[in-house]
């Protein structure tokens, strides 16, 4: 029984360790919106359709945020892409135009090696 309980505790602990904190630093005068996804295509619909979603993905000027993501599924062909958008553009421009013109401030293709080399910190710009 003790062995079974120990195995459950160990497996639960391992699951928590699968998530890693990525720090994103905004060194610009712009308020940014971030979004993480596994491919480089922009969505058909606006990415912030849910009330409050913008606030949860906002990085104020000269500040930082911590993004907690599961990075254990990363490999040479499957790695996350971090998109940074100018909040003013998202608020004032049609998503169809943003998508058609690919109006993205910066897209980071985050390989595990790049993340480890940067100490899990991304700085914009």
d(C-alpha 120, C-alpha 110), whole Å: 10
- Domain locations along the chain: 19-124
Closest CA to 70 of 79, 61, 62: 79
Q: Which pLDDT score is estimated for 32?
A: 96
pLDDT in tens, the chain (125 residues): 544 444 444 444 333 345 688 999 999 999 999 988 877 777 777 666 555 677 888 999 999 999 887 666 666 666 788 999 999 998 899 888 988 999 999 999 988 888 889 999 999 99
Per-residue pLDDT, 7 = 47
Sign of CA dihedral 112, 117, 123, 124: negative
Ramachandran region of residue 52, left (φ > 0), alpha (ψ -120 to 50) or beta? left
Output the pTM of the full model: 0.77
């Amino acid at each position: 029984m003790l062995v079974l309980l120990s195995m459950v505790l160990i497996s639960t602990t391992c699951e928590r360790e699968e998530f890693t904190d990525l720090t994103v630093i905004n060194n610009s005068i712009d308020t940014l919106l971030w979004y993480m996804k596994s491919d480089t295509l922009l969505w058909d619909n606006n990415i912030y359709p849910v009330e409050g979603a913008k606030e949860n993905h906002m990085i104020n000027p000269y500040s930082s945020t911590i993004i907690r993501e599961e990075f254990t599924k990363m490999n040479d062909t499957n790695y996350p892409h971090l998109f940074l958008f100018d909040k003013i553009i998202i608020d004032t421009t049609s998503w169809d135009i943003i998508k058609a013109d690919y109006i993205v401030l910066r897209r980071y293709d985050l390989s595990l090696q790049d993340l480890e080399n940067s100490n899990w910190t991304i700085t914009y710009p």
